[in-house]
Amino acid sequence: MRSPILRLVLLLSVAISVAAQQATQPPAAKPLFKIQEAMIPVRDGVHLQTAILTPVDQQGPLPILFRRTPYGVPEKAPEQIPVSLKELAQDGYIFVFQNLRGRFKSEGVFNLSSWVDLKDPKATNETTDAYDSIEWLLNNVPNNNGKVGMFGVSYDGLTTALTLLHPHPALMAISEQASPVDQWMNDDDHRFGALRESYDFEYAVMEQADKNKNTHFDFETYDTYEWYLDLGPLSNINAKYLHGSIPYWNSSIEHPDYDDFWKKEAWVSQLHASTVPNLNVAGFWDQEDPWGPWQIFRHAEENDPQHTNFMVAGPWFHGEWQTPKGDQIGIIPFGGHETAREFRENIQAPFFRYYLHGQGEKPAWQASTFQSGSNTWHTYPAWPPKEAKPTKLYLHTDGTLSFTAPDAAKSERAYREYISDPANPVPYRQRPISPTYPEGDWRTWEVADQRFVDRRPDVLSFTSEPLDHDLTVTGPLAANLYASTSGTDSDFVVKLIDVYPQDAQKNAWSPDEGPKPGQYAQSLNGYELPIAMEVRRGRYLASYEKPSPLTPNKPAEWNIPLRDHDHVFLKGHRIMVQIQSTWFPVIDRNPQKFVPSIYKTSASDFVSATQRIYCSPDLPSHLVLPVVP
């Protein structure tokens, strides 16, 4: 046991040491926000966990910026401003984050649903929860200026967009970013009825396995291509793993067709006006929700007398516009532009500044895009621009592409063909395919070099001659295939590709700067960059509600929308189109034999089929490109 004097000496020594350390350390950073947690009551008595961040140095009334999320809210005030909020925070806002009902500490049940019943005044949904929460915030958050804005990406974008159906009077501006609108027709879960198997399954598990966290399914095989293939029919997911425990997955399996369940989820069908100034944001290479923002924009455009409906799109993966720079996607550079920062500084912040602070100017354009290929920002008074002319790009049986229609005198045969085998499906990205979550290379697979499948016998490639001038395509793209299958059901996947010249690498940077050290691990020489990719499922060609079998070996017209784009195929580049019938496991395998429900099929139903793409004067398969002169 130490003596009192010795203990005193030791205490003094420690005190002197601590004081010396404190003298040499920089002072602690001043807190930027005060945080308050509230449980906001909504109309049915449920309380929603909400974090309210107020600037410490607030001088006067500020507007509220509100985000509603299923992913969790801040538990403590940030020591520094997140990159995605930097430009907004400079203008001054009270930031509010709220967990959706049934997530984390929020009460109620999380249904993972976007159904809004406007005819039932007693119904509760994301629209009513937002309305009630805004009312509470206005009455209970000190020193707010009575104006509210909402914003968010993905699911947070959905909860923002849903306020358009019944906005609170104080809601002055919203920015719905990468919001889904119709989960059967497109976006996260399906592509025109073709199930996005890996994403739908893994996302449903993440959100509904545990209300208190985001759960990542534990694959026993790293290469998920192999895991899903070994799984066999989709029914084995419940039989072997989930056992009916995930409600949203159960709903997907129980409703294979476009029935009333999915039509109710398609909330955008109730939107017919720009009810609140809204800034839609979309990524041209958004691997999750590339379609919804354009649909919101078009529905709001039906009645927009005040011109408050705006569209922004750029060369981004899902949410890339909220990353620090956005100066490239994958290994594709954007010509020195930091597109994410430029969007936040020049578009997002001024939009909210005008509508919530009453400062600056209203956007003078309807659409603003960062055009890939040319790597330049553009604004358009209307979308699509009137000068863009629909132009047909034809597929030929010799494997070429041209703007000249097939000539009977030159065609040796009417079609090209391949054999599609569901037991050996075409991977959607290079193997091994890592799980969707936690994030690996899922974010950038839509810009991956397509040479990894270019020589497969079950992938047809059609390629143009090198372009002798720049070719600008601005607006909606589409494919019109004439195709047949020897089976009674089938999928066709169409990919529009920009093929870089073999000496592209030397032109990838400016002559003055050159490449950044270690910037690229892969060459751009000969790179096959996808511009647009989509799938159609044959059973739904005649009707989305009532599937029907295809007639074997009979050509049918397949209209395949390829969404909106703004891209320049540069001089010296070539245009390529790839066509295949499997895209696994991002799209579930079509058995290629018609069955009442693919989700309840058996292993014996999967058969190989001979697929034909017709390129004759009578059946001229082609793409429609909106070419700007």
pLDDT tens, residue by residue, 378-427 = 999 999 999 999 999 999 999 999 999 999 777 668 999 999 999 999 99
Residue 303 structure tokens: 């009645």
d(CA 105, CA 107): 6
**E-state strands within 521-620:** 528-537, 556-569, 574-580, 609-614
Q: What is the pLDDT of residue 5?
A: 33
Lowest average pLDDT, out of 8-17, 190-199, 384-393, 463-472, goes to 8-17
CA distance 295 to 252: 22
Tell me the mean pLDDT in the region 553-562. Answer: 98
Q: How many other C-beta atoms can be found within 10 angstroms of the C-beta atom of residue 597?
A: 14
Whether the pLDDT of residue 357 is over 70: the answer is yes
Q: Which residue is associated with the tokens 């198997």?
A: 197
SS3 158: helix
Mean of per-residue pLDDT scores for the chain: 92
pLDDT band (50, 70, 90) for residue 2: very low
pLDDT tens string 466-477: 999 999 999 999
Render pLDDT for 270-313 as a digit per residue (tens, 0 to 9): 999 999 999 999 999 999 999 999 999 999 999 999 999 999 99
pLDDT score of 516: 52
So what's the pLDDT on residue 453? 97
pLDDT at residue number 27: 59
Could you tell me the pLDDT band of residue 28, with boundaries at 50, 70 and 90? low
pLDDT above 70 covers a percentage of the chain that reads 92
The amino acid sitting at 37 is E
Largest CA distance in the chain: 110
Looking at residue 450, its pLDDT comes to 98
Would you state the pLDDT for residue 506? 62
Question: Across residues 198-220, what is the average pLDDT?
Answer: 92
pLDDT of residue 509: 47
**How does residue 72 score in pLDDT terms, banded at 50, 70 and 90?**
very high
Contacts with 342 (C-beta within 8 Å, 6 or more apart), sequence order: 326, 370, 377
Distance spanning both ends of the chain, measured CA to CA: 92
Cβ contacts of 48 within 8 Å, gap of 6 or more: 39, 40, 42, 98, 99, 100, 101, 106, 107, 108, 129, 133
Q: How many Å apart are CA 565 and CA 388, to the nearest integer?
A: 12
Q: CB pairs under 8 A, 24+ apart, for 547-552?
A: 547/193, 547/256, 547/257, 547/594, 548/594, 549/488, 549/489, 549/594, 550/484, 550/485, 550/487, 550/488, 550/489, 550/490, 550/594, 551/488, 552/484, 552/485, 552/486, 552/487, 552/488
Quote the pLDDT of residue 438.
81
The Cβ of residue 6 has, within 10 Å, a number of other Cβ atoms equal to: 10
For 486-518, the pLDDT digits (tens) are 999 999 999 999 999 999 876 554 444 545 544
What is the arithmetic mean of pLDDT over 134-158? 98
Q: What is the DSSP string of 117-131?
A: -TT-TT---HHHHHH
What is the model's pLDDT at position 521? 42
CB 568 within 8 A of CB 583: no
Domains of the chain: 33-181+266-380 (3.40.50.1820), 190-264 (1.10.3020.10), 389-505+522-628 (2.60.120.260)
Q: Is the pLDDT of residue 17 over 50?
A: no
Residue 194 pairs in a beta bridge with 191
Give the integer Cα–Cα distance in Å for 433 and 529: 19
CA distance 269 to 181: 9
**pLDDT reported for residue 519:** 46
